[in-house]
Amino acid sequence: MDVRWNSTYLMLKNLFPHKVPFTTFIHANYPRGEQGELLLTQEHWALAEKVFKFLELFCETTVALSGVYYHTSPLMLHYMIKLAIHLKTYANDVHLRNMVQPVQEKYNKYWRDISLLYSFAFIVDPRAKMKGFTKVSRKLGNLISTDYSATRLALE
């Protein structure tokens, strides 16, 4: 069954505080699988926690960029960098590699070109300016192997 990533994140978030009773329930009612192994082990919990940690930044980003009482456009490039670093960190993980690769491809497809709206919003943010945009575009370019010098030149 296909489940959206945010539903998976919320289910895991609400499950972890009840890890011990849930494990006890599973072991009491379903003691062993067909080969005699436990149906729920510490390795399963470790993998679930790894998936939870991977999805956590996506949830944080979604919440931050869905705000209605503050400007979100200047935040976009900050979160683009956070996500690029995050994806690069998990790209070689043995358990998550098959999940991360399509996400990375989709990320690169959509963010190969930085929207001028987000560029202008970042530059007019008093914390960033053009110098900050130059740093951010170089860092992001290094993370996803893209050259943003044409975007920087268009904005100067």
pTM of the model: 0.84
Reported as a single tens digit per residue, the pLDDT across 8-36 is: 999 999 999 999 999 999 888 887 767 77
Length of the chain measured in residues: 156
d(CA 19, CA 48): 11
Please check whether residues 142 and 81 belong to one and the same domain. yes
Please check whether residues 82 and 151 belong to one and the same domain. yes
Q: Which long-range contacts (CB under 8 A, 24 or more apart) does 17-24 make?
A: 19/45
pLDDT value, residue 149: 79
Q: What is the mean pLDDT of residues 134-154?
A: 84
Q: Do 136 and 151 meet the contact criterion of CB atoms below 8 Å apart?
A: no
The residue out of 66, 97, 122 marking a domain boundary is 66
Q: What is the mean pLDDT of residues 27-46?
A: 83
Q: Do 26 and 40 meet the contact criterion of CB atoms below 8 Å apart?
A: yes
* Residue-range definition of the domain harbouring residue 22: 1-66
The residue out of 36, 66, 96 marking a domain boundary is 66
Which carries the bigger pLDDT value, residue 95 or residue 36?
95
pLDDT value, residue 33: 65
Lowest mean pLDDT across 3-7, 25-29, 35-39: 35-39
How much of the chain exceeds pLDDT 90, in percent? 53
Please check whether residues 39 and 93 belong to one and the same domain. no
How much of the chain exceeds pLDDT 70, in percent? 95
Per the listing, tokens 């043995």 go with 94
pLDDT band at 1 (very low <50, low <70, confident <90, very high): very low
The residue out of 19, 34, 66 marking a domain boundary is 66
How many domains, the chain? Answer: 2
